[in-house]
Amino acid sequence: MTEESVALNPGVIPGTEQSDQGVRTRFLLILAMALITTGTTFVSLLAIRRPLRNLIIENVSSDLSHSVATFENVRSLRMTALDRENALIADLPSLKALMTTNDEPTIADAGVEFWKTSGNDLFALADRNGEIMAAFVAGGTADQAFRANLRGFLSAQQGTYFVSGNRLFECSVQPLYFGSSSEGTLLGHVISGFAIDRAAVETLSRATNVDAVFLSKNHLLASSLDPKYEKGVSSIPARSSSDASEPFTTVLGGEMFLAVSRQLSADPAAPLTLVELKSLEPEEKAIREIDRLVLLAGLLALVLGAALMALLSRFVTRPLEQLAAGVRAFASGDSAHLLPYRGTREVRELSTAFAGMRREIVNANQALLESERLATIGRMASSVSHDLRHYLAAVYANSEFLASGKLPEAERVEILAEIRTAVNGTTELLESLLMFSRTGSHGRRNLYSVTSFVEKAVSIVRAHPDAVGVAFSVEAGDGAETEVLADAKQVERAIYNLLLNACQAPRATGNAPIVSVSVVPRDEDVVIDVADNGEGVPTGIRDTLFEPFVSEGKHKGSGLGLTLTQSIAADHGGGVMLVRSRPGETVFRMSIARGSSRASSTFASHARMGE
C-alpha cells in the first residue's frame, strides 16, 4: 500500500539548524598566545641551558687544571724541603759513624734520636744491601710487614710514594757515604717521609681549592671529600696515561663532580691513583636558578600576554558577536537591530555589507509581500465573487417571486428556505474571510475535551445540506483523556471544516457517502483522523492543498476551509496533514497540542515518521 503525506508545519528545515557548538575566536587567540609563549619559554631554556652548561664546565675545567697545577706545586715544594732535610741528616758524622757499626740493635736504639730530630712521620735506616736496620712511624708501629714493604719500595726506587696496608707516605731516599759521594764508600740509606692522611690532604685541598683522593687497588687511602661522597669513589674508573689530563664528570652521593685521574705508581704490587675533583653543585645551582628565572619570566609573560590578548580579542570579537546577534535578530524578523559600527576595518566593512544586504532583503520582502497581497486579493475576489453572485442572485430572484403575492403557501415556504440558505451561505463565507484575517492571534483558552469538540462539530455539520444522506462513524475516547488547552470556537470550526470537506468529497462518485472520525490521545497531543470514501484529492493540488482559495475539484466553497484548519491547528501547537489519498479512501489528520510550548515541531516529527 502506497501512502502519501503532506505536512503543513515541517518544523526546522534540514540543514538550517543553528548550533552553539564550536570554539570562540577569543579562546583560540588566547590559546595560540599561550602556546607560543610556552613554546618560546621552553625553547629558550633549551637554547640557554646547553651552551651555559658547556661554558660552565669549560670554566670549571680550566679552574680544575689550575688547581691541579697548584696542588702539584705545593706537593713539589714540600717534597723539595723533605729532600733537603733528609740530605742534611744523611750528612751527619754521628749518623755515618752509627751506620759503620752495622749492628741492627745498636742502629735501632740510636736511630730514635735521629727520628725525633727529623720530626717526620716516617724515618728509616737501611744498610748498603737494602736491609732495614731501623724503622720508626708516627702513630703506629713498624712491624715486619711494614719493613718488608719498605724494603721493596727501596729496592724498586719507582717514585716517591710508599704504600703499606692502609697507610700512604711520600718519601725521600738519601744514600749515606763514608767520604764523598763520588769516591766514598756506601754505608746505607736514610729514608724520611710524611704521611698522606686526611689531615694532610685537607691542608693541600684548602690551599688549592680542589678535593683529592688517593686510591690503591680501588681502596681508599686518603681523601679530603666529605664522607657521604667517599662511598662512590672506588667506582671511578682508572684513566690511561694519555687521558690523565682530560677532565671527566662523575656522580658521587647524587652530586656532580668534575674530576682528573692520574696514576702515581706503576708498581703492580702497590698501584696508586690520585683523583682530583671539583664539585659542580654551585654551578648546577646557578643553572637551576637561571632556569627558575626563565620560567618565572615565561609565566609572567604568559599571564600578561593572556590578559592583553583577552582585552585585544574582546576588542576584535565583541563587534563580531554584535554582528552575529544582528544576524540572528534579522533571522527572527527584527530588521531594526543595531549593527556594530566599531571594531577593526574588516568588521566595519562586514557590518556595512550586511546592513546593505539586510536593507535590500527588507525591500525585496516588502515588494514580494505587496505582490502576494495583490495576488491574494485577486484570488479571493475571483473565488468569492462567484459564490456571492450566486447567493445574491438567489436572494434577488426569490425575492421577486415573493413580491408577486400570488404564490401558494407551500411555494412561499420553499422560496423562503432558499433565501435563508443563500443568506446563511453568504454569512458563512464572510465569517470564513474574517477568521482567515484573524488567524495567528490567540484568544482566551481553557481546558476542553477534544471528544466534545468532535461531537459538537458532527451535530452541526449534520444540519448542512451537503451532509444529507451521509453516514457518520465516530470513535472517541474518554473526554478526560483528550483534554487540551484551546480556543473552543476556533477548534470546533477547524473540525467542522474537515467534516464538511469529507461530506462534499463522495458526491462526485455517486457512492453512498461515509465519513468516519477517530480521536486518539497521545502523550503530548491529541490526534483527530477524518476519513471519507470519495475519489481522493486531485494530484495537481496536493502540494498547494492548504493554501488559501485552492478549490479545484470542488463544486462549491471558497477554498478557505483547509487553510483555516491548518492555521488553527498550528496556533494550537499542532498541524494538519494528508495521510492517505486514493479512490475510496482519503484520510486527513489534525493534531492539537495539550498545552506545551513545543508548537508544531512535535507534529512535524510525527509527520516525518508517517504516524
**DSSP assignments along 317-331, one per residue:** HHHHHHHHHHHHHHH
pLDDT top residue among 192 and 370: 192
> What local confidence, expressed as pLDDT, does residue 124 receive?
92
pLDDT at 382 over 80: no
Whether residue 178 contacts residue 96, with contact meaning beta carbons closer than 8 Å, is answered with yes
Distance, in Å, from the CA atom of 303 to the CA atom of 25, rounded to the nearest integer, reads: 19
Whether residue 193 contacts residue 124, with contact meaning beta carbons closer than 8 Å, is answered with no
Mean pLDDT along residues 129-138: 90
pLDDT top residue among 139 and 2: 139
Percent of the chain at pLDDT > 90 equals 7
pLDDT at 602 over 50: no
196-279 CATH: 3.30.450
Distance, in Å, from the CA atom of 462 to the CA atom of 502, rounded to the nearest integer, reads: 12
Distance, in Å, from the CA atom of 354 to the CA atom of 559, rounded to the nearest integer, reads: 40
Strands 132-137 and 167-178: unpaired
Mean pLDDT along residues 20-32: 72
Q: Which residue has the cell 473552543?
A: 488
Which of 84-98, 171-185, 360-374, 395-409 shows the lowest mean pLDDT across its residues? 395-409
Q: How confident is the model at residue 537 (pLDDT cuts 50, 70, 90)?
A: confident
Domain ranges of the chain: 196-279, 344-438, 439-608
> What local confidence, expressed as pLDDT, does residue 432 receive?
63
Residue 584 DSSP symbol: T
Q: How confident is the model at residue 521 (pLDDT cuts 50, 70, 90)?
A: very high
Residue type (1 letter), 7:
A
Q: Is 552 exposed, middle or buried (0-12, 13-18, 19+ CB in 10 A)?
A: exposed
Residue type (1 letter), 415:
I
Mean pLDDT along residues 425-449: 67
Distance, in Å, from the CA atom of 447 to the CA atom of 572, rounded to the nearest integer, reads: 12
Whether residue 134 contacts residue 126, with contact meaning beta carbons closer than 8 Å, is answered with no
Distance, in Å, from the CA atom of 145 to the CA atom of 80, rounded to the nearest integer, reads: 28
Distance, in Å, from the CA atom of 473 to the CA atom of 566, rounded to the nearest integer, reads: 23
Which of 47-56, 104-113, 288-297 shows the lowest mean pLDDT across its residues? 47-56
Top mean-pLDDT range of 77-86, 257-266, 430-439: 77-86
Whether residue 253 contacts residue 228, with contact meaning beta carbons closer than 8 Å, is answered with yes
Which of 53-67, 166-180, 345-359 shows the lowest mean pLDDT across its residues? 53-67
Tens of pLDDT, residues 301-328: 888 888 887 787 777 777 777 778 888 8
> What local confidence, expressed as pLDDT, does residue 611 receive?
42
Give the closest residue to 479 by CA, choosing from 446, 440, 450, 509.
Answer: 450
Q: Which fold has domain 439-608?
A: Heat Shock Protein 90 (3.30.565)
pLDDT top residue among 530 and 52: 530
pLDDT at 590 over 90: yes
pTM across the whole model? 0.45
Percent of the chain at pLDDT > 70 equals 80
pLDDT at 102 over 80: yes
Distance, in Å, from the CA atom of 237 to the CA atom of 573, rounded to the nearest integer, reads: 91
Q: To 5 degrees, how large is the angle CA 19–CA 22–CA 27?
A: 140
pLDDT top residue among 387 and 135: 135
Give the closest residue to 161 by CA, choosing from 273, 277, 276.
Answer: 273
- For residue 452, what is its C-alpha cell? 466534545
Length of the chain in terms of residues written = 611
Domain 344-438, what architecture? Orthogonal Bundle (1.10)
Whether residue 211 contacts residue 277, with contact meaning beta carbons closer than 8 Å, is answered with yes
Q: Which residues pair with 273 in a beta bridge?
A: 215, 263
> What local confidence, expressed as pLDDT, does residue 241 receive?
52
Residues 170-191 as b or e (16 or more Cβ within 10 Å = b): bbbbbebbeeeeeeeeebbbbb
Q: Give the CB-side neighbour count of residue 106, counting CA atoms within 13 A.
A: 9
**What is the layout of strands, in order, in the sheet containing 585-593?**
6-7, 575-582, 585-593, 525-532, 514-521, 471-475
Distance, in Å, from the CA atom of 505 to the CA atom of 554, rounded to the nearest integer, reads: 8
Distance, in Å, from the CA atom of 586 to the CA atom of 503, rounded to the nearest integer, reads: 12
**Mean pLDDT, the chain, as a whole number?**
78
> What local confidence, expressed as pLDDT, does residue 238 receive?
60
Top mean-pLDDT range of 3-7, 60-64, 78-82, 271-275: 78-82
> What local confidence, expressed as pLDDT, does residue 591 receive?
93
pLDDT top residue among 287 and 143: 143
Q: How confident is the model at residue 596 (pLDDT cuts 50, 70, 90)?
A: very low
Distance, in Å, from the CA atom of 394 to the CA atom of 388, rounded to the nearest integer, reads: 10
